Amino acid sequence: MIKPKLENKIKNLPALPGVYQFFNSKGKVIYVGKALNLKNRVKSYFQNNITSAKTLALVSKIEGIEIIITDTEIEALVFENNLIKDLKPRYNINLKDDKSFPFIKVTNEPFPRIYPTRRVNKDGSKYFGPYTDVKNMKSSLRMINQIFKVRSCKLNITDENIRKKKFKVCLDYHIKKCDGPCEGLITQHKYGEMVNEVIKLLKGKTDDLIKELESRMSTAVEKLEFEEAAEIRDKIQRLSAISTRQKIVSDDFEDRDIFAAAFEGKDSTCSIFIVRNGKLVAKKQLSLSIEEGESLEEIYSAAVKFYYTDQTEIPPEIILEIEPSEPEILLEWLRMHSNKKVKFHIPKRGGLHSLVKMCKENAMLQLKEIQLQKMKTEGYVPYSVAALQRDLHLKALPRKIECFDISNLQGSDTVASMVVFEDGKPKKGQFRKFIIKDVDGPDDFSSMREVIRRRYSKLIEENYSLPDLIMVDGGKGQLSSAIEILDELKIKSYSIIGLAKRLEEVFLPGHSDAASIPKTSSGLKLLQQIRDEAHRFAITFHRQRRSKRTIKTELTEIQGIGKATAEKLLREAGSISNIKNLKPEELTELVGSDKAAKIISYFQTSKAESEN
Could you please report the per-residue DSSP string of 134-145? Answer: HHHHHHHHHHHH
Under a CB-based contact definition with an 8 Å cutoff, are residues 504 and 563 in contact?
A: no
pLDDT cut 90: percent of the chain above it: 18
Q: DSSP label at 182?
A: G
Q: What domains are defined for the chain? A: 4-92 (3.40.1440.10), 103-248 (no CATH), 256-375 (3.30.420.10), 387-542 (3.30.420.340), 555-611 (1.10.150.20)
Peptide bond into 130 cis (omega under 30): yes
- Return all residues near 10 (Cβ < 8 A) that are at least 6 apart: 2, 39, 42, 43, 46, 65
- Return all residues near 371 (Cβ < 8 A) that are at least 6 apart: 264, 267, 382, 383
Under a CB-based contact definition with an 8 Å cutoff, are residues 329 and 77 in contact?
A: yes
Task: Please tell me the distance from the alpha carbon of residue 390 to that of residue 387, in angstroms, as a whole number.
Answer: 5
Task: Please tell me the distance from the alpha carbon of residue 429 to that of residue 601, in angstroms, as a whole number.
Answer: 45
486 or 554, which is more confident? 486
Under a CB-based contact definition with an 8 Å cutoff, are residues 21 and 31 in contact?
A: yes
64 forms beta bridges with 23
Tell me: the pLDDT tens digits for 372-400? 777 666 566 788 888 888 888 888 889 89
pLDDT value of residue 321 = 92
The pLDDT-based confidence of 591 (bands split at 50, 70, 90) is confident
- What distances in angstroms separate CA 272 from CA 176, 296, 373, 423, one per listed residue? 37, 16, 22, 32
- What distances in angstroms separate CA 223 from CA 39, 186, 218, 228, 604, one per listed residue? 72, 19, 9, 10, 102
Question: Residue 431 burial (CB < 10 Å; 0-12/13-18/19+)?
Answer: middle
State the DSSP string of 48-68: TT---HHHHHHHHH--EEEEE
- What distances in angstroms separate CA 358 from CA 255, 263, 282, 300, 354, one per listed residue? 18, 16, 14, 17, 6
Maximum separation of any 2 CA atoms in the chain, in Å: 125
- In degrees rounded to 5, what are phi and psi of residue 86? -80, -45
> How far, rounded to the nearest angstrom, does the alpha carbon of residue 260 sit from its chain's CA centroid?
8
Under a CB-based contact definition with an 8 Å cutoff, are residues 473 and 406 in contact?
A: yes
Residue 442, CA atoms < 13 Å, CB-side half-sphere: 6
69-78, 107-116, 364-373: lowest mean pLDDT where?
A: 364-373
Q: Which amino acid is at 314?
A: I
State the DSSP string of 522-589: HHHHHHHHHHHHHHHHHHHHHHHHHHHHHHHHHTTTSTT--HHHHHHHHHHHSSHHHHHTS-HHHHHH
Task: Please tell me the distance from the alpha carbon of residue 205 to that of residue 212, in angstroms, as a whole number.
Answer: 11
Task: Please tell me the distance from the alpha carbon of residue 475 to that of residue 501, in angstroms, as a whole number.
Answer: 8
- In degrees rounded to 5, what are phi and psi of residue 111? -125, 85
Helices then strands, each counted (H, E), the chain: 21, 20
Average model confidence (pLDDT) across the chain: 84
Under a CB-based contact definition with an 8 Å cutoff, are residues 381 and 403 in contact?
A: no
Task: Please tell me the distance from the alpha carbon of residue 152 to that of residue 160, in angstroms, as a whole number.
Answer: 20
pLDDT cut 70: percent of the chain above it: 92
Average pLDDT score over residue span 99-127: 83
The pLDDT-based confidence of 346 (bands split at 50, 70, 90) is very high
The pLDDT-based confidence of 611 (bands split at 50, 70, 90) is low
State the DSSP string of 319-342: E-SSPPSSHHHHHHHHHHHHTS--
Q: What predicted TM-score, i.e. pTM, was given to this entire model?
A: 0.56
Tell me: the pLDDT tens digits for 425-441? 999 889 998 888 887 77
- Secondary structure element (H or E) that encloses residue 274, with its range: strand 267-276
Tell me: the pLDDT tens digits for 430-474? 999 888 888 777 788 888 999 999 999 988 888 888 899 999 988
Q: Which amino acid is at 490?
A: K
Task: Please tell me the distance from the alpha carbon of residue 330 to that of residue 411, in angstroms, as a whole number.
Answer: 60
Residue 402 clears pLDDT 70, i.e. is over it: yes
- What distances in angstroms separate CA 544 from CA 189, 480, 540, 548, one per listed residue? 82, 30, 6, 6
